Chains A and B, each alone.
Chain A
Amino acid sequence: MLSKRSLVGVRWNFHTLAVLFFMLIGIQAFAADPAVDSSDEAVAAGKAVFNANCKTCHKLDQKLVGPALRGVSDRREIPWIKSFIKNSQALIASGDKTANDLYKEYNNTAMPAHEFLSDDDLNNLLSYIEFGDKVDPAAAAAVEGGAEGASAAGGGIPSEYLTVILAVLVVVLLLILVVLGLIISVLTKYLNKQELDEDDKEFVTQKFNLGKVFKSDGFIIIVTALVVAVVAKTAIDGLYSVGVQQGYAPTQPIAYSHKLHAGTLEIECQYCHTGVEIGRSANIPSPNICMNCHTHVQNVQGKEGVSPEIQKIYDAVDNNTPIEWVRVHNLPDLAYFNHSQHVKVGGIECQTCHGPIQEMEVVGQHSALTMGWCIDCHRQTEIATEGNAYYDKLVQIHVDSKDALKVKDIGGLECAKCHY
Chain B
Amino acid sequence: MKENKKTYWKGLEQLSNDPEFVKHADKEFAELPSSLNEDGSASRRDFLKLMGFSLAAASLAACEAPVRKAIPYVNKPVDINPSIPNYYASTFSSGGDYASIVVKTREGRPIKIDGNELSPINKGKVNAIVEGSVLSLYDKQRLTGPYIAGEKTDWATLDSQVKSKLASAGSVKIVSNTILSPTTNKALQQFSEVFGGAEVIQYDPISNYGISKAAETYYGTAVIPSYSFDKAKTIVSFGADFLGTWISPIEFAGQYAKTRKISKEKPEMSRHYQFESNLSLTGANADYRTPIKASQSGLAVLALYNAIAKKAGAATVSAPAVEIAHLEKAANDLWAAKSAGLVVSGSNDPNVQVVVNAINELLGANGTTVDFNAPVHFRKGDDARMNQFVNELKAGQVGAVIFYNCNPVYDFARGAEIAEGIAKAKVSISTNGTMDETASLVQMVAPDHHFLESWNDFEPKKGHYSLGQPTISPLFDTRQAQDSFLTWSGSTSNFYEFLQLNWESEIFTQVETGTDFQEFWDRSLYNGVFAITPAATEALAPIGDVSAAAASVAKAYSASNTGAELVLYTKVGIGSGAFANVPWLQEMSDPITKATWDNYLTVSQKWASENGVTMIEGETSKASITVNGKSLLVPILVQPGQAEGTFGLAVGYGRTKAGRVANGVGVNAYELADTSKGFVNFDITAGVEVAATGEAYRIARTQTHQTFMGRENVIQEATLAEYKTDASAGRYHPEIYKDGEFVKPSKISLWSGHQYSQHHWGLAIDMNSCIGCSACSVACQVENNVAVVGKQEVLNRREMAWIRIDRYYSSDAPADDLRGMEVASENPEVTFQPMMCQQCNNAPCETVCPVAATTHSSEGLNQMTYNRCIGTRYCANNCPYKVRRFNWFKYHDNKDFAGVNVAQNDDLGKMVLNPDVTVRARGVMEKCSMCVQRIQAGKLAAKREKRKVQDGEINVACAVACPTDALVFGDMNDANSKVSQLLKIKENNTSALKEVNEERAYHVLEEINVSPNVWYFTKIRNKDKNEA
The residues of A that contact B57 with a CB separation of less than 8 Å are 235, 238-239
Contact B58 A338 (CB under 8 A): no
A206 to chain B, nearest CB (A): 39
**In the assembled complex, B51 has its CB within 8 A of some CB on chain A:** no
With the chains together, A327 CA to B71 CA distance in Å? 9
B972 to chain A, nearest CB (A): 14
**Which candidate, B248-256, B495-503, B858-866, is the interface stretch facing chain A?**
B858-866
Chain A positions 75-111 with a Cβ under 8 Å from a chain B Cβ: none
Contact B940 A340 (CB under 8 A): yes
**In the assembled complex, A15 has its CB within 8 A of some CB on chain B:** no
What's the count of A-B pairs with C-beta under 8 Å? 158
With the chains together, A420 CA to B864 CA distance in Å? 7
**In the assembled complex, A336 has its CB within 8 A of some CB on chain B:** yes
Nearest-CB residue, chain B, relative to A325: B70
Chain B positions 653-683 with a Cβ under 8 Å from a chain A Cβ: none
**In the assembled complex, A192 has its CB within 8 A of some CB on chain B:** no
Chain B positions 922-945 with a Cβ under 8 Å from a chain A Cβ: 929, 932-933, 936, 939-940, 942-944
Nearest-CB residue, chain B, relative to A333: B918
Contact A336 B916 (CB under 8 A): yes
Contact B858 A410 (CB under 8 A): yes
Q: Interface 1/0s, chain B 860-895, versus A by CB < 8 A? A: 010111111000000000000000000000000000
The residues of B that contact A344 with a CB separation of less than 8 Å are 944
The residues of B that contact A288 with a CB separation of less than 8 Å are 74-76
Nearest-CB residue, chain A, relative to B58: A238
**In the assembled complex, B320 has its CB within 8 A of some CB on chain A:** no
B-side interface residues toward A, CB under 8 Å?
54, 57-58, 60-61, 64-65, 67-76, 81-84, 757-758, 853, 855, 857-859, 861, 863-868, 916-918, 929, 932-933, 936, 939-940, 942-944, 946-949, 990
Contact B929 A287 (CB under 8 A): no
Contact B74 A414 (CB under 8 A): no
- Pick the residue among B65, B81, B949 that contacts A274 (CB under 8 A): B81
Contact B867 A390 (CB under 8 A): no
**In the assembled complex, A209 has its CB within 8 A of some CB on chain B:** no
- Pick the residue among A242, A327, A338 that contacts B70 (CB under 8 A): A327
Nearest-CB residue, chain B, relative to A371: B867
Contact B859 A411 (CB under 8 A): yes
Chain A positions 263-290 with a Cβ under 8 Å from a chain B Cβ: 274-275, 277-281, 283-289
20 other A-B residue contacts (CB within 8 Å) besides A278-B84, A397-B757: A238-B58, A238-B61, A239-B57, A245-B64, A274-B81, A275-B81, A284-B72, A286-B72, A321-B74, A323-B74, A324-B71, A345-B943, A388-B943, A390-B948, A411-B758, A414-B857, A415-B853, A415-B857, A415-B868, A416-B864
Nearest-CB residue, chain A, relative to B945: A390
**In the assembled complex, A389 has its CB within 8 A of some CB on chain B:** yes
Contact B932 A411 (CB under 8 A): no
Contact B61 A281 (CB under 8 A): no
Nearest-CB residue, chain B, relative to A319: B74
The residues of A that contact B944 with a CB separation of less than 8 Å are 277-278, 340, 344-345
The residues of B that contact A316 with a CB separation of less than 8 Å are 74
- Pick the residue among A279, A324, A390 that contacts B84 (CB under 8 A): A279
**In the assembled complex, A148 has its CB within 8 A of some CB on chain B:** no
Nearest-CB residue, chain B, relative to A393: B758
Q: Say yes or no: A419-B865 contact (C-beta < 8 A), given A286-B73, A345-B943.
A: yes
With the chains together, A242 CA to B57 CA distance in Å? 9
Contact A330 B65 (CB under 8 A): yes
Chain A positions 323-343 with a Cβ under 8 Å from a chain B Cβ: 323-327, 330, 332-334, 336, 338, 340-341
Contact B61 A242 (CB under 8 A): yes
The residues of B that contact A338 with a CB separation of less than 8 Å are 940
Contact A388 B929 (CB under 8 A): no
The residues of A that contact B61 with a CB separation of less than 8 Å are 238-239, 241-242
**In the assembled complex, A308 has its CB within 8 A of some CB on chain B:** no
Q: Say yes or no: A327-B758 contact (C-beta < 8 A), given A320-B74, A345-B940.
A: no
With the chains together, A338 CA to B54 CA distance in Å? 37
Q: Say yes or no: A390-B757 contact (C-beta < 8 A), given A245-B65, A416-B932.
A: no
**In the assembled complex, A26 has its CB within 8 A of some CB on chain B:** no
Contact A414 B855 (CB under 8 A): yes
Number of A residues with CB within 8 Å of any CB on chain B: 60
Contact A389 B946 (CB under 8 A): yes
Contact A416 B863 (CB under 8 A): yes
Contact A326 B918 (CB under 8 A): no
The residues of B that contact A327 with a CB separation of less than 8 Å are 67-70
**In the assembled complex, A417 has its CB within 8 A of some CB on chain B:** yes
Q: Say yes or no: A278-B81 contact (C-beta < 8 A), given A284-B70, A327-B69.
A: yes
Contact B861 A275 (CB under 8 A): no
Nearest-CB residue, chain B, relative to A388: B946
A258 to chain B, nearest CB (A): 15
A-side interface residues toward B, CB under 8 Å?
235, 238-239, 241-243, 245, 248, 250, 274-275, 277-281, 283-289, 316-317, 320-327, 330, 332-334, 336, 338, 340-341, 344-345, 387-394, 397, 410-411, 414-417, 419-420
Contact B76 A289 (CB under 8 A): yes
With the chains together, A66 CA to B855 CA distance in Å? 48
Q: Is chain A's interface secondary structure helix, strand, loop, or mixed overall?
A: loop
Contact B918 A286 (CB under 8 A): no
Q: Say yes or no: A415-B946 contact (C-beta < 8 A), given A239-B61, A340-B940.
A: no
Interface pairs A-B: 9 shortest CB-CB = A416-B863, A280-B83, A415-B865, A411-B858, A286-B76, A281-B83, A327-B68, A279-B83, A334-B867
Contact A279 B81 (CB under 8 A): yes
B850 to chain A, nearest CB (A): 15
Q: Say yes or no: A390-B861 contact (C-beta < 8 A), given A279-B82, A336-B916.
A: no
With the chains together, A241 CA to B936 CA distance in Å? 30
With the chains together, A275 CA to B58 CA distance in Å? 39
Contact B71 A323 (CB under 8 A): yes
The residues of B that contact A416 with a CB separation of less than 8 Å are 857, 861, 863-865, 929, 932
With the chains together, A394 CA to B759 CA distance in Å? 10
Nearest-CB residue, chain A, relative to B73: A286
The residues of A that contact B857 with a CB separation of less than 8 Å are 411, 414-416
With the chains together, A243 CA to B948 CA distance in Å? 39
The residues of A that contact B933 with a CB separation of less than 8 Å are 336, 420
The residues of B that contact A390 with a CB separation of less than 8 Å are 939, 942-943, 946-949
B69 to chain A, nearest CB (A): 5
Contact A414 B69 (CB under 8 A): no
Contact A285 B67 (CB under 8 A): no
The residues of A that contact B83 with a CB separation of less than 8 Å are 275, 279-281
Nearest-CB residue, chain A, relative to B77: A286
With the chains together, A57 CA to B515 CA distance in Å? 53
Nearest-CB residue, chain A, relative to B929: A420
- Pick the residue among A250, A414, A415 that contacts B67 (CB under 8 A): A250
Nearest-CB residue, chain A, relative to B973: A393
Q: Say yes or no: A341-B940 contact (C-beta < 8 A), given A326-B70, A336-B916, A394-B757.
A: yes
- Pick the residue among A330, A334, A392, A420 that contacts B932 (CB under 8 A): A420
Q: List 30 A-B contacts (CB under 8 A).
A: A245-B65, A279-B82, A279-B83, A281-B82, A284-B71, A286-B74, A287-B72, A323-B71, A325-B69, A327-B70, A332-B867, A336-B916, A338-B940, A341-B940, A341-B943, A344-B944, A393-B757, A394-B757, A397-B990, A410-B858, A411-B857, A414-B855, A414-B857, A416-B857, A416-B861, A416-B863, A416-B929, A416-B932, A420-B863, A420-B916
With the chains together, A322 CA to B647 CA distance in Å? 60
The residues of A that contact B757 with a CB separation of less than 8 Å are 393-394, 397, 410
Q: Say yes or no: A419-B946 contact (C-beta < 8 A), given A324-B69, A341-B940.
A: no
With the chains together, A414 CA to B69 CA distance in Å? 30
A244 to chain B, nearest CB (A): 9
B239 to chain A, nearest CB (A): 45
The residues of B that contact A414 with a CB separation of less than 8 Å are 855, 857-858, 863
Contact A322 B943 (CB under 8 A): no
Nearest-CB residue, chain A, relative to B944: A344
Q: Say yes or no: A415-B73 contact (C-beta < 8 A), given A245-B65, A283-B81, A397-B757.
A: no
Contact B68 A420 (CB under 8 A): no
Of B57, B83, B933, chain A has the most CB atoms within 10 Å of the CB of B83
